[in-house]
Amino acid sequence: MDPLKALQTLYPPSRLLSRPAELLPYESDALTAYRARPLAVVLPETEEEVVETVRLCHRLGLPFVARGSGTSLSGGSLPVEGGIVIALNRLNRILRIDPLKRIAVVEPGVVNLDVSKAAQPYGLYYAPDPSSQPVSTIGGNLAFNSGGAHCLRYGMTVNHVLGARVVLPTGEVVSLGGEGLEGVGPDLLGLFVGSEGLLGIALQITLRLLPRPEKYHTLLAAYEALDQAGEAVSRVIGSGLLPGAMEIMDRLAIEAASAAVGADYPQAEALLIVELEGEALEVEREAQVLEEVIAQSGAYEVRVAKTEEERQRIWKGRKAAFSAVGRLSPDYLVQDGVVPRSRLGEALKEIQRLSERYGLRVANVFHAGDGNLHPLVLYDGKKPGELERAEALAGEILRLCIRLGGSITGEHGVGMEKKAYLAEMFSPEDLEAMERVRLEVDPGLLANRGKVFPGQGGG
């Protein structure tokens, strides 16, 4: 049966996109160096439509990719050539907020920040806060196990997802987890979170909500060298403090954020943002320790936010840093490697050396508290060979992370971008075990085909 004709039985023309101009916005995600054209894009409005679409794909052997806002930085929501995109943005209802159980039940197209807005009247919020939180969806956050600035203290998405109703690539609908923190039996929900769309599509997601902190203490410290800021992170952790967030920006990122959103930052080689949060008395005691540690770390300027407005101004620049770098370069690649905190300074020095060797600028913005580096490799795609040189430099950074005892990804996922490096991190036996699990759930390799595993074709 012709796939388009089959899809016409499920969707009206306004929600079945197949003309080239209609498909163009879906050909890429935030990793714009990769593009692919799907056969069609469907816009379901109900859970039942998603399930029926997946079942149709299973019958026809038609590959599919689930997509939210398309903010993936690893090519994770890139279409599959000849397959379909299931765009979930219209499934955007917050179905329930239960302040007693401290949970929210949402559809996959709900925007991350909207969960906290809905929970605010109850004194609650949703902790994972990726930089894309004003636009990225919970379904995408779940697929890639997103983190954010405050993941040091509160953990990643997987630590805040209690349950999910899921349609598997075969069309079977299953429930994973529940509404409590304790589960029974194998942690299938933990397997699903972070599986990058290879194991199916979440239809409903139960999220854990937390009480809003009583007090924040937000400090910004300026340094004359990037590795000094990295060493300061180790000092803070070594003091016994567990901040809500610790972020570092280098000179290029500072310059971009200042230009883009008017961030009033010192013109430093590196900035360290540290935020304490919790009960007022606890935060006040910790603030004294923090300021002593920072004073001994070589910072030449220290600012402490006195008001909520000043705090938000500090964070506005950091949250805008990725997009702001577009002011410095027509194109850039965002990397997502992880190194042990104790080796941050070493990693930053080596990235600077690699930048000089390849003749490409690298802006560094990262979650310093958990060693999650986000070096942005700046290049001009119109110059012959420059994209390839940028990709080679990005690959060197990933290999550096592996050598230092880290990982090739912290929260952006493997997607298309990093699948060639998976075999450098895992043994053939490890990869075979992962693929066996995937094949048990999706024997036709229909869900997000070509992503994650090396040797598989792409979109």
Task: With a cut of 70, say whether residue 31 has pLDDT above it.
Answer: yes
* CA atoms lying within 13 Å on the CB side of residue 306: 2
**CA-to-CA distance for 133 and 111, rounded, in angstroms?**
7
Nearest of 35, 16, 105 to residue 75 by alpha carbon: 35
Both ends of the chain: CA-CA distance in Å?
A: 23
Task: With a cut of 60, say whether residue 191 has pLDDT above it.
Answer: yes
For residues 29-55, average pLDDT:
95
Residues 39 and 29 sit within 8 Å (Cβ to Cβ): no
The number of beta carbons lying within 10 Å of the beta carbon of residue 433 is: 12
Helices within 61-88 (DSSP H only):
none
**CA-to-CA distance for 439 and 170, rounded, in angstroms?**
11
At 55, list the tokens.
């079942």
**CA-to-CA distance for 150 and 155, rounded, in angstroms?**
8
pLDDT band at 457 (very low <50, low <70, confident <90, very high): low
The single residue listed with the structure tokens 């079945």 is 16
**CA-to-CA distance for 393 and 358, rounded, in angstroms?**
7
**CA-to-CA distance for 292 and 269, rounded, in angstroms?**
22
Q: What is the pLDDT of residues 90-126, one digit of tens each?
A: 999 999 999 999 999 999 999 999 999 999 999 999 9
Task: With a cut of 70, say whether residue 393 has pLDDT above it.
Answer: yes
Task: With a cut of 60, say whether residue 12 has pLDDT above it.
Answer: yes
Residues 394 and 333 sit within 8 Å (Cβ to Cβ): yes
Size (the chain), residues: 459
**pLDDT in the model for residue 256:** 86
pLDDT-above-90 percentage for the chain: 77
Burial letters for 142-151: b for 16+ Cβ neighbours within 10 Å, e otherwise? bbbbbbbbbb
* CA atoms lying within 13 Å on the CB side of residue 440: 6
At 71, list the tokens.
């903010």
Q: What is the pLDDT of residues 236-295, one digit of tens each?
A: 999 999 999 999 999 999 988 887 777 889 989 999 999 999 999 999 999 999 999 999
Q: What is the pTM of this model?
A: 0.92
For residues 406-433, average pLDDT:
93
Task: With a cut of 90, say whether residue 441 has pLDDT above it.
Answer: yes
CA-derived radius of gyration, the chain: 22
Q: CB neighbours of 177 closer than 8 A, spacing ≥ 6?
A: 161, 162, 163, 164, 183, 188, 189, 206
Q: What is the pLDDT of residues 414-426, one digit of tens each?
A: 999 899 999 999 9
The single residue listed with the structure tokens 């101009």 is 21
Element (H, E) at 43: none
For residues 317-327, average pLDDT:
82
For residues 188-202, average pLDDT:
97
State which of 162-176, 180-194, 263-277, 314-328 shows the largest mean pLDDT: 162-176
**pLDDT in the model for residue 170:** 97
The number of beta carbons lying within 10 Å of the beta carbon of residue 422 is: 18
**pLDDT in the model for residue 365:** 86
Averaged pLDDT of the chain: 93
**CA-to-CA distance for 31 and 9, rounded, in angstroms?**
33
Q: What is the pLDDT of residues 68-97, one digit of tens each?
A: 999 998 999 999 999 999 999 999 999 999
**pLDDT in the model for residue 456:** 61
The number of beta carbons lying within 10 Å of the beta carbon of residue 418 is: 24
The number of beta carbons lying within 10 Å of the beta carbon of residue 330 is: 11
| Dihedral class, residue 352 (left if φ above 0, else alpha if ψ from -120 to 50, else beta) | alpha
Instruction: Using DSSP bridges, classify how beta strands 362-367 and 375-379 pair: parallel, antiparallel or unpaired.
Output: antiparallel
Weakest-pLDDT range from 180-184, 218-222, 327-331: 180-184
**pLDDT in the model for residue 76:** 93
Torsion sign across C-alpha atoms 44, 46, 50, 53: negative
For residues 427-449, average pLDDT:
96
Q: Please give the C-alpha separations between residue 260 and each of 87, 257, 407, in angstroms, as whole numbers.
A: 30, 5, 31
**CA-to-CA distance for 181 and 160, rounded, in angstroms?**
9
Residues 270 and 339 sit within 8 Å (Cβ to Cβ): no
Nearest of 432, 408, 413, 430 to residue 194 by alpha carbon: 413
